[in-house]
Structure 1
Amino acid sequence: MDNRNLLLAVVLSALLILGWETGLRYFYPEAAMTSQQSEQARRAETVAAPAATTVAGNLGGDGAARKVDLRTSLGGGNRVVIDTPRIAGSINLVGARIDDITLKNYRETVKKNSGPVRLFAPEGTPGQYFAEFGFVAGGQRQPSNLLWQADGTRLTPTTPVTLTRTDAAGITYAIRFAIDANYMITASQSVSNAGAGAAVIQPFALIKRTSTTATVDQYISHSGPVGVFGDTLWDPHSYDELAEIGNETPAGAPDWLGFTDQYWLSALVPGDGRGNVKVENAGFRALGGSLFRTDLLYSPVTVPAGATMTQNTRLYAGAKDSRILDSYEDGGISNFGLAISWGWFWFFEKPILWLLRTLNGLVGNFGVAIILLTVVIRGLMFPIAQKGFASMAAMKAVQPRMKEIQERFKDDKQRQQQEIMQLYKDEKVNPLSGCLPMLIQIPVFFALYKVLVLAIEMRHEPFALWIKDLSAPDPAHILNLFGLLDFTVPAGFLAIGPLAVLLGITMWLTFRLNPSAMDPVQKQMFAIMPWILMFVMAPFAAGLLIYWITSNLLTVAQQSYLYSKHPQLRAANEAEKLKAAKG
């Protein structure tokens, strides 16, 4: 019977290991992100983009763009330089487009000579992604190839730039761009009507991008269209889902809307960001192939001859730094901090991030900060662990009486349970208290995992030796001798690194110190569980494995200490192990 149970346990464990990669890609697919992005790009090249449909107010004009080289496009002139402490780039005077933004504080890869992250790129380039500001006059969108005149050559936090043009009817259109020291650009779109009659004007703003450069939409971190409408977060669709739907206009007044990646955000903020501006259309649409767009079209305004009108729109284009996003939310933009996919447990995740930042400020290394965070958490849970061990000791003391009850009422299961519960009550024993520390660790573990995935502070943060990015899996693998052999280990459960091995060993040590289970099948499962977890956890972020390894080591130390305080528990445990070895 025991052999059959052992065989069943081994088969189930093998199925778990073999099926883990599929489940991981479904719930946490960041480990497979690169390959999926490459496949998405390949598919996009083979799909011809159909003619774009026209949205309300004739805000169309999205036929397939001519493919151009990035360097050629940016070197063509007619540009206003953007230069702030955090971003660099330029505004294209053709079309009043912000189509060139790089983030100074973030590198594309962990390599020190890697260039800065490019967020925006001109239309027609492989990574096209840009914002455009313009006007609809008399129900017709003005062409996107019009050349604007600028009153300056550099947009900085202290030097705004105004773009102007005048049409044949004597109407002057102006877009004044101002930028702060972070990632927010304010576009003030104004019209001065010097013509003979009234003009019906609708300012608009849009963001257009390709999804081939997007991160993968996943359970724990949304990538795709996002916004807050009617003070409620809206983020139900991935790019593939939006492509199937065609277009989506969320219900409620728009507070802000745009596109989000794991670490980056582009968003349009109408007015003051509180949904009190009249708009005709605010939504998202698929343009065919891999192209998508979000539109913000304001309601028509009649501008009499000799009159003017102005509409303000802000554009956020930068990193999803929670402190910066929260500061804009505090400044009035409704729920702007929800651009980060904190989820329901934000109240638990944000304090963990704050503590990690604080500890990192003290030690200067996020890996060490994770270790210190683990010490703090285990220290807070130590009183609970003490109670758990005391309960385990009490359980050991009443086991002879439990066996007596089980034997006496073996034919009456209901009476047996009643007598056992009465025994627990009389002896003040709680059989579940030993599980409490583990149950408490589950939300901590999940919250830390989300912080490691979502917090941009973790991106490309090194620890020591070969660990160059705490938010990525362990790059060293046993199968290529930790990089000594010149071949790449396939993604999945075979990619076992030193951290995963340490996790398995430390988990085995914690199981060894636990009281022996009475059930032989449980013993067998406990024996192989550490090694199953070693395979399961290998693709997770290195920072998470460092947390768990440290937690296991602290558990071993804690259990050794508590055994010294409860010698009867250690003696009973050793007796059971000796009996099992003889049997």
Structure 2
Amino acid sequence: MDDQNKNLILATALSFLVILVWFVLFPPPEPSVTETPPAATETIGQTDANGAPIASVPQAADPGATTATTEVAPAADAPRLNVETPRLTGTISLAGGRIDDLLLNDYRETLDTNSPNVRLLEPVGDPLSYYALFGWAPGGGLTPADVPGTDTVWTVESGETLTPENPVSLRWDSPSGLIFRRELSIDDDYMFTVAQTVENPTEAAVRAAPYGIIARHGLPETSRFFILHEGVVSMANGSLTEMDYGDFEDFAVDPAMGAQAETIEDVTEGWIGFTDKYWMTTLIPNNGEPFKQVMLFQPQSQIYQTQTIYPTVEIGPGQTVEHSSRLFAGAKEWEAIRDYQNEGGVYRFIDSIDWGWFFFLTKPIFQVLHFLNAMIGNMGWSIIALTVIIKALLFPLAYKSYSSMAKMKELQPEMEKLKEKAGDDRMQLQKDMMELYKKEKVNPASGCLPILLQIPIFFSLYKVIFVTIELRHAPWLGWIRDLSAPDPSSILNLFGLLPWGVPDLGALQIISLGILPILLGISMWMQQKLNPAPTDPTQQMIFAWMPWIFMFMLGSFASGLVLYWITNNTITFIQQYLIMRSHGYKPDIFGNITSSFRRKKPDAE
């Protein structure tokens, strides 16, 4: 076997190994199962009878701190305030002042124009309740009845509908004489600001601790992909934490919390919340303000929580104390999150997007893709343009590789002479060939370098296409209306020409090939034909089947990734052909194609 064919075999084997490992690590998702949480029938630690969370103040911080255990009013029975912004529509329950009903105006569940908008938050009482609440935990001199609880019905002091131009103000008067106010404001995108004040007109000093909580009732639907993180995402003093929902069950029981909890103390720069594939809710304290991050799980009621707990403050007679924080509730749009980081001062907020292990590649790849899309206005053509840029950056290596391959072809006669001279002495043959390579300045392994560099780029681009919301429902042309989804066309109905739909074949859906996967197989097959088929029958069989194996294996991948691979193969074919011709070797493509269809004659007896 000559070294040229060894390189081809090695490159092909590496590519096959990459795909094989990919399917082992990132198997197709299992059908999502929505678990409806059981009704909470008992008080669990710092929760009420319906399982609604109550903030806790660490006993070490304030020995007099306590928490309330009260019943949450059903969402339908409490008055509500409307929320109307360019990006969000919903309501806020005056029971507890919970932000618990939000729809995303710019995103629908499916491509159907009549599909409902994506619902981000859901009120208490729904199967998968999901909401944010803020308040004060009682400290020294206060009882649970002296602070507003999760079922406390606030009154509207000003404003009727929360809009970017019009904040709303809520008020609640404590039986002990304290006056609690909460002003809610929102910007044009997804950021709420919650300003809470406590006015003490009494003659006694009291203590209380502000808090923020995001709660999810029941296990939410997830994509169940290894490549994707869904669950808690937090930043604490420069350390990013990503925790899956299953990890909550491993928490130890915290006696102060009365539930399974994990705490990060003494945070001064950070945020914490829940992330889905495309959506996120995040509690964001002010920069430099000390707070404690809490992740809490109540197994009996299946409630997951993230909390921000702030130091206990003293409110003296005649004094008013204010505390403010922010809540992000919306889509994980790179541009919006970047602006909140750069202009809004949210520390390293861009890391809330799941960039993965190859973040040093995924971040710049996405930024270039986002820039190209802003110029071109179409993500499909932007992916093609990005591929051209990547190939241009790798061209020096490709040129060296294909030049080496052309020289290897030129050295074939010399190598045949060395084989005849060495006979059965393999050691002498290897020595003579190495001397020949050194003399002619040829590196037989250089042909594999572009393949090796393509592996992390391929993984990074897959991560970008799979995770970033900018690719969700992004069309290219014709039948490709969602580059984040597989090609919807199918050979089973001749790509829509036959008058029937495509059946759901379950695990056999892999045979329902679309147009893009077929083009991928053809592009790989054509790339092979730049070189004659190897003489060894085993090698011939591997090369003959490899493009079509890849075609089936990648058929269920996102259309954007398949489009990248087709473009990459096409550019590689052109580059290799032109570079090899420039070195005097003219690939007989047509002859290689016809020879692959020619039936071989049996050996003479």
Residue 125 (structure 1) aligns with: 126
Residue 350 (structure 2) aligns with: 337
Identity %: 37
Choose from 266, 281, 293 the match for 2:281. Answer: 266
Distance apart, 1:243 and its partner CA = 2.8
What is the identity, as a one-letter code, of the residue corresponding to 1:171? L
Distance apart, 1:426 and its partner CA = 1.3
> Aligned in 2, Cα 1:244/1:526: closer, same or farther, shift over 3 Å?
same
- In structure 1, distance between residues paired with 2:281 and 2:41: 23
Residue 530 (structure 2) aligns with: 513
Q: Does 1:248 align with 2:254?
A: no
Residue 230 (structure 2) aligns with: 223
Q: Does 1:146 align with 2:152?
A: yes
**Which residues in structure 2 correspond to 1:277-296 (within 5 Å)?**
277-279=289-291, 282-288=294-300, 290-296=302-308
- In structure 1, distance between residues paired with 2:351 and 2:392: 31
Residue 100 (structure 1) aligns with: 101
Work out whether residues 396 and 572 of structure 1, in 8 Å CA contact, stay in contact via their aligned partners in 2: no
Work out whether residues 198 and 303 of structure 1, in 8 Å CA contact, stay in contact via their aligned partners in 2: yes
Q: Does 1:353 align with 2:402?
A: no
Q: Scaled by the length of structure 2, what TM-score is found?
A: 0.82
Residue 469 (structure 1) aligns with: 482
Work out whether residues 229 and 251 of structure 1, in 8 Å CA contact, stay in contact via their aligned partners in 2: no
> Aligned in 2, Cα 1:212/1:23: closer, same or farther, shift over 3 Å?
farther
Residue 167 (structure 1) aligns with: 174
What is the identity, as a one-letter code, of the residue corresponding to 1:110? L
Work out whether residues 195 and 324 of structure 2, in 8 Å CA contact, stay in contact via their aligned partners in 1: yes
Choose from 488, 501, 504 the match for 1:488. Answer: 504
Work out whether residues 27 and 218 of structure 1, in 8 Å CA contact, stay in contact via their aligned partners in 2: no
Q: Which has the higher helix share?
A: 1
> Aligned in 2, Cα 1:135/1:523: closer, same or farther, shift over 3 Å?
same
- In structure 2, distance between residues paired with 1:467 and 1:377: 23
> Aligned in 2, Cα 1:128/1:409: closer, same or farther, shift over 3 Å?
same
> Aligned in 2, Cα 1:544/1:417: closer, same or farther, shift over 3 Å?
same
> Aligned in 2, Cα 1:449/1:576: closer, same or farther, shift over 3 Å?
closer
- In structure 2, distance between residues paired with 1:49 and 1:230: 38
Residue 202 (structure 2) aligns with: 195
> Aligned in 2, Cα 1:395/1:518: closer, same or farther, shift over 3 Å?
farther
- In structure 1, distance between residues paired with 2:435 and 2:383: 44
> Aligned in 2, Cα 1:193/1:46: closer, same or farther, shift over 3 Å?
closer
What is the identity, as a one-letter code, of the residue corresponding to 1:262? K
Q: Which runs of 5+ in 2 are unaligned?
A: 1-8, 47-54, 58-65, 252-259
- In structure 2, distance between residues paired with 1:50 and 1:468: 49
Work out whether residues 99 and 122 of structure 1, in 8 Å CA contact, stay in contact via their aligned partners in 2: yes
Deviation per CA, 1:307-342: give whole Å up to 9, x if none: 121111110001111122122222322211111111
> Aligned in 2, Cα 1:297/1:473: closer, same or farther, shift over 3 Å?
same
Distance apart, 1:411 and its partner CA = 6.6
Distance apart, 1:406 and its partner CA = 5.2
SS in 2 for 1:564: helix
Work out whether residues 159 and 168 of structure 2, in 8 Å CA contact, stay in contact via their aligned partners in 1: yes
What is the identity, as a one-letter code, of the residue corresponding to 2:384? I
> Aligned in 2, Cα 1:286/1:45: closer, same or farther, shift over 3 Å?
closer
Distance apart, 1:576 and its partner CA = 13
> Aligned in 2, Cα 1:575/1:505: closer, same or farther, shift over 3 Å?
closer
Deviation per CA, 1:471-491: give whole Å up to 9, x if none: 011222333554643432325
Work out whether residues 225 and 284 of structure 1, in 8 Å CA contact, stay in contact via their aligned partners in 2: no
> Aligned in 2, Cα 1:575/1:239: closer, same or farther, shift over 3 Å?
closer
Residue 51 (structure 2) aligns with: none
SS in 2 for 1:443: helix
- In structure 2, distance between residues paired with 1:377 and 1:46: 52
**Which residues in structure 2 correspond to 1:309-328 (within 5 Å)?**
309-328=321-340
Q: Scaled by the length of structure 1, what TM-score is found?
A: 0.85
What is the identity, as a one-letter code, of the residue corresponding to 1:503? L
RMSD: 3.3
> Aligned in 2, Cα 1:48/1:82: closer, same or farther, shift over 3 Å?
closer
SS in 2 for 1:259: strand
> Aligned in 2, Cα 1:457/1:293: closer, same or farther, shift over 3 Å?
same
Deviation per CA, 1:236-267: give whole Å up to 9, x if none: x2112213434322465161000001111100
What is the identity, as a one-letter code, of the residue corresponding to 1:247? A
Work out whether residues 131 and 216 of structure 2, in 8 Å CA contact, stay in contact via their aligned partners in 1: yes
What is the identity, as a one-letter code, of the residue corresponding to 1:147? V
Deviation per CA, 1:51-92: give whole Å up to 9, x if none: 5333743557599x89x7xxxx56x56222212221111211
SS in 1 for 2:403: helix
